[in-house]
Structure 1
Amino acid sequence: MTMRAILIAMILSVVSIYWQHLSSVIEGGSTLYALSTPPVPAIFCILLLIGAAPLLGKVLGKPLSKQELIVIFMFLVLAIPQVTWGVTEILLPWMTTHVYFATPQNDLHKITELLPKWYYPSDPDLIREMYEGSADGSVPWKPWLYPLGMWTILMTLMFFTGMCLVSMFRKQWADRERLRFPLLLLPISLVEKESPGSHVPFFRNPLVWIAFVLVFTHHILNVMNAYNPSVAALKDFYRIGAIFTEEPWTAYHNVRFFYRPQVLGLAYFVSPDLLFSTWFSFLMQPTSTVIADVFGLRQDPSFPFSVEQGSGAFLAMLFVLFWVGRGQLALIARKALTGDPSIDDSDERIPYRWSFFGAIGGFTAIIIWSHFSGFSPVFSIPYVFLLLGFGLVYSRVRAEGGIPAVWAFPFNEHKRMMFQLLGTRRFIRSGDASDLVMLASYSWMGRGYFTSQMGYQIENEALSDRFDIRTRRYGLMAVLAFVVGAAVAYYATLSSYYKFGAVTLGGGTTAGGGNVSNARTQWEEIVGYINNPTGPSRNRNIAISVGAVVTLAMVALRFFWLQSPFHPLGYAISLNYGYALWSNFMLVWIVKLAVQRLGGARLYRQLMPFFLGLVIADLVAGGLSWLILLAFGPRALAGYVVQF
């Protein structure tokens, strides 16, 4: 881990963050490739460095090594996403919409009265200028420094605690269970001399270029269709549910058949049982609705409560991960507490003592920070536990399934889960709704980054192990990447807000874009709970329990029947992001069955470069598509949403 690699990574992070910000907020509010996994600019930067290797070798004295390229990649995947919907672009509206949109009719002033005064600048005119744009476009930085500083402390604690927690599972997952980490095949294919499944460099394999031609043709037709709708194009999905117009088959009405090259490519490296379980479990949800309607059993329109089942499945998987890894966790605790020399952690990027005490100390510091903010530990402890716990399960999803999605977990369900289990009435004590409001003020953290970053952390550790990057400075590098990313993201986001107005950015109107409207809707919902508290939700709590029981049953079935086609992670994924994965997984599941029958392991390896080519081509073509659409204007941008 050289200093020049870190410096190059910092420079590329600044450029990449501005690229992300431009694509997701300023020019293309509906463009979702800013949330790709890994970030599109990270792939572009590595390709740029590889292509410019001869020139860089002359400028730097010697070319960048494979290890340095990997360090740069690891830095970028942690720094870049902070400017997206999961961090600054949602944090700033989350803390201020209740001020800007307050009227005597919507009672949003109740939120302002219960939040700490340092959460945001106290001058309402500064908030108004953020949403409407200031006269000269400048940012009043001084009033923002303290709120941003305090929030950065909390976010850094969350980042550090998640890093320490997931680090304790590296040996169990990578060395003992030998998980595949499919997403790592992307950087490995780019920097290695031989691509996986082949004895020639990645970009010299003809199968890779066949994949590139197919993917680029797909994107080119979609771009042309966005500019001229008369051009035929596949787009990204087909609404097969539109053919179901009569009861009880309307349960399938919202089913869409997605075909995303990146997902198709990575699915090739996922085990068949996980592929089958995902698409089968997803289709069973509307099927269960049909069966319930036929027999007159559906009394609640929300049945079968798929989201709640997903939360229960993640809770059960969290228990399973700790149970299966209890032996390794016990060794880590013994090494941390006693310094037992017989327990070797020399190959760990974060020593056992650091990861053990870092996880416990970081969690404790978060609760203390929350307590002094007015958030009772009675509620902050379970909420932070859910944030980190779901992040750990998501990390397992990434390590085993390589799911290229930041939303493959119970998205924003942490708060709702507590409301459903306890009822909002429990959060209001003697007329004081502070805990209710404080919990809502934290809920933006359940929308992406602090879950997905734990997936990047475990992948980074596995990647550094693959390239023999043995340094105890990894933790410092990761925290530096986070802080650099946060600082640049703050600057980019606030500068744009005060220049253009937050209500008009991100595809918004005078009511605001996606992030602003989400924050406003959330606070209006909380006001509704303050005025009319609710009790626990019996049906939804039953669904959470069902999700947990089904998951544990699948785990037990695999223990007694090794060839079981039902994978608990597939069930959990299908309930949280299955709508965009099931069709891709079903197609690849069929392909893998055919490959197994026709050519076995040899044919499987021969086709690996083709499917990796689909992945990298989709990331590259997706980034270029946005640049082309930007040149065509807003109408074309709105006509083709580049999704990952």
Structure 2
Amino acid sequence: MPNRNVSFRAVLLALLITIPNSYWLMINWGPSGYGTGQSFPTVSTVYFNVIFVVLILMAVNPLLRAIGKNASLTDAELMVVYLLVSIASSIAGHDTLQILWPLLTYPIWFASPENEWGELFHRHMPDWLTIKERNALATFYQGDTSLHTVQHLELWMPLVLWWSALIIVLTCMMLCITILIRHQWVNHEKLSYPVIQIPLHLTENGGRVLLTNRLFLLGAVLAGGMNLLNGLHFLFPVVPGLGGSLYNLGQYFQTKPLNAIGRLPFAVYPFAIGMSFFIPLELSFSIWFFYLFHKMTRVWGTMAGIGHLPGFPFLDAQSFGAWFCLGDIRNMAYPKVHRTTGEKRFPRQGC
């Protein structure tokens, strides 16, 4: 079978999938999403909704192959679908378009004489980027109507077009920044991008390489079985769960100084365990070590009599120092070349 690269049908298929995929991401935001976690597929690096889409396409591929020799999707086409749907999920997902539309009208609808929002910042909101007629927003918040009316479309269409243009520009800017740093990251730092290994192996040879690996299938059955059991436990509490909810170990420390530990959640999430394998060992170690170190610092502060100080143990200051030191170390890694002599000089060491 010839290896096609970016084909028109792959792009068209990704665009068609984007519509229900984005709709699903948005309708799951809010209380239902926070209660079930369904609104958060885009907060982790590998989007499980996109992986699910690729798996469905791989399941349909044998049927397409039976129809015609060139009817099935190639590995490159599956990767194109994965990349485009991932980008669309990033734009429509958590803390992006998912909350943009309610946010646009929230300051108008909930303005009142008590909070003085109208006097404080309504004048700073351009008319062409928001809807300032409160009566026009009644149907948006109260319902009992349809968006597909001439009146509603005339009201919302200019707003949608302007914000869509802005989002497209911002996305292109991010793409340009990526192009600028690509040479440094790929050629000099030689970053491995381990996250891309999942879709690459998943689409390799139509998935036959990964899906015939017995160790992978065993892990998938164990992780999927745990998630399925925990989902049934959420819907039907009579079904026992298996590590899917946070269990607070801190409740067992009630006396000083150990009660300074506070909340100490414990849970078993298969996706988190799997994602940790893609993290560098030093970073994976630092995540849990410094979390426990922070808890022990609270205990030490109580023992030393300084735990009552406001803001102790000053996590914001520690985080700022860590970021500052990290930036200084990255600056140390790249020598500065003298224009005339060509001599390489490393900056003076800081942290």
Look up the match of 2:291.
282
SS at match of 1:24: coil
Q: Give the partner amino acid of 1:147.
A: L
- Displacement after TM superposition at 1:89 (Å): 2.6
Look up the match of 2:55.
47
- Structure 1 or 2, whichever has the larger Rg, is 2
Look up the match of 2:113.
104
Q: State whether structure 2 residue 165 is matched by structure 1 residue 150.
A: no
Look up the match of 1:575.
none
Give RMSD over aligned pairs. Answer: 3.0
Distance 1:256 1:173, change over 3 A: same
Q: Is the 8 A contact 2:75 2:205 kept in 1?
A: no
SS at match of 2:87: helix
SS at match of 2:116: coil
Q: State whether structure 2 residue 15 is matched by structure 1 residue 16.
A: no
Look up the match of 1:7.
12
Question: Counterparts in 2 of 1:295-306, with a 5 A limit?
Answer: 295-298=304-307, 300-306=309-315
SS at match of 1:259: coil
SS at match of 1:85: coil
Q: State whether structure 2 residue 238 is matched by structure 1 residue 226.
A: no
Question: Counterparts in 2 of 1:487-498, with a 5 A limit?
Answer: none
Q: Is the 8 A contact 1:252 1:286 kept in 2?
A: yes
Higher relative helix content: 1
- Displacement after TM superposition at 1:108 (Å): 2.0
Q: State whether structure 2 residue 270 is matched by structure 1 residue 237.
A: no
Q: Is the 8 A contact 1:24 1:84 kept in 2?
A: no
Q: Is the 8 A contact 2:257 2:303 kept in 1?
A: yes
Mapped partners of 2:136, 2:288: distance in 1: 49
Look up the match of 1:78.
87
- Displacement after TM superposition at 1:194 (Å): 10
Mapped partners of 1:162, 1:320: distance in 2: 25
What do the CA deviations read for 1:359-389 (whole angstroms, capped 9, x no partner)? xxxxxxxxxxxxxxxxxxxxxxxxxxxxxxx
Look up the match of 2:38.
33
Look up the match of 2:142.
132
Mapped partners of 2:331, 2:79: distance in 1: 30
Q: Give the partner amino acid of 1:279.
A: W
Which of the residues 163, 182, 185 maps onto 2:175? 163
SS at match of 1:33: coil
- Displacement after TM superposition at 1:312 (Å): 5.1
Q: Give the partner amino acid of 2:170.
A: M
Mapped partners of 2:244, 2:35: distance in 1: 15
What do the CA deviations read for 1:123-178 (whole angstroms, capped 9, x no partner)? 21122321111545546122223333332333223222222223322233233333
What do the CA deviations read for 1:84-124 (whole angstroms, capped 9, x no partner)? 33222321222222211122222222232332333312321
Q: State whether structure 2 residue 183 is matched by structure 1 residue 178.
A: no
SS at match of 2:264: coil
Mapped partners of 1:164, 1:123: distance in 2: 38
Look up the match of 2:203.
191
Distance 1:92 1:309, change over 3 A: farther
Q: Is the 8 A contact 1:236 1:258 kept in 2?
A: yes
- Displacement after TM superposition at 1:316 (Å): 5.0
Mapped partners of 2:172, 2:321: distance in 1: 26
Distance 1:116 1:319, change over 3 A: farther
Question: Counterparts in 2 of 1:377-388, with a 5 A limit?
Answer: none
Q: Give the partner amino acid of 1:176.
A: H
Q: Give the partner amino acid of 2:108.
A: V
Mapped partners of 1:292, 1:104: distance in 2: 46
- Displacement after TM superposition at 1:9 (Å): 1.0
Question: Counterparts in 2 of 1:520-559, with a 5 A limit?
Answer: 553=351
Q: State whether structure 2 residue 127 is matched by structure 1 residue 117.
A: yes
Mapped partners of 2:68, 2:132: distance in 1: 49
Mapped partners of 1:244, 1:160: distance in 2: 51
SS at match of 1:52: helix
Mapped partners of 1:231, 1:138: distance in 2: 42
SS at match of 2:35: coil
SS at match of 1:180: coil
- Displacement after TM superposition at 1:239 (Å): 1.4
Gaps of 5+ in 2: 1-5, 340-349
Mapped partners of 1:315, 1:55: distance in 2: 55
Look up the match of 1:403.
none
Look up the match of 1:310.
319
Q: Is the 8 A contact 1:42 1:76 kept in 2?
A: yes
Q: Give the partner amino acid of 2:142.
A: E
Mapped partners of 1:232, 1:19: distance in 2: 28
Q: Give the partner amino acid of 1:122.
A: K
Q: Is the 8 A contact 1:24 1:31 kept in 2?
A: no
- Displacement after TM superposition at 1:74 (Å): 0.7
SS at match of 2:312: coil
Q: Is the 8 A contact 1:292 1:298 kept in 2?
A: yes
- Displacement after TM superposition at 1:75 (Å): 0.4
Q: Give the partner amino acid of 1:232.
A: P
What do the CA deviations read for 1:292-312 (whole angstroms, capped 9, x no partner)? 232223454432243554355
Question: Counterparts in 2 of 1:381-530, with a 5 A limit?
Answer: none
Distance 1:194 1:67, change over 3 A: closer
Q: Give the partner amino acid of 2:89.
A: I
Look up the match of 2:271.
262
Distance 1:107 1:87, change over 3 A: same
State the number of aligned residues.
327
What do the CA deviations read for 1:467-492 (whole angstroms, capped 9, x no partner)? xxxxxxxxxxxxxxxxxxxxxxxxxx
Distance 1:23 1:116, change over 3 A: closer
Look up the match of 2:300.
291
Look up the match of 1:253.
262
Q: Is the 8 A contact 2:74 2:206 kept in 1?
A: no
Distance 1:26 1:268, change over 3 A: closer
Mapped partners of 1:279, 1:215: distance in 2: 22
Q: Give the partner amino acid of 1:24.
A: W
TM-score, L = length of structure 1: 0.46
Q: Is the 8 A contact 1:182 1:266 kept in 2?
A: no
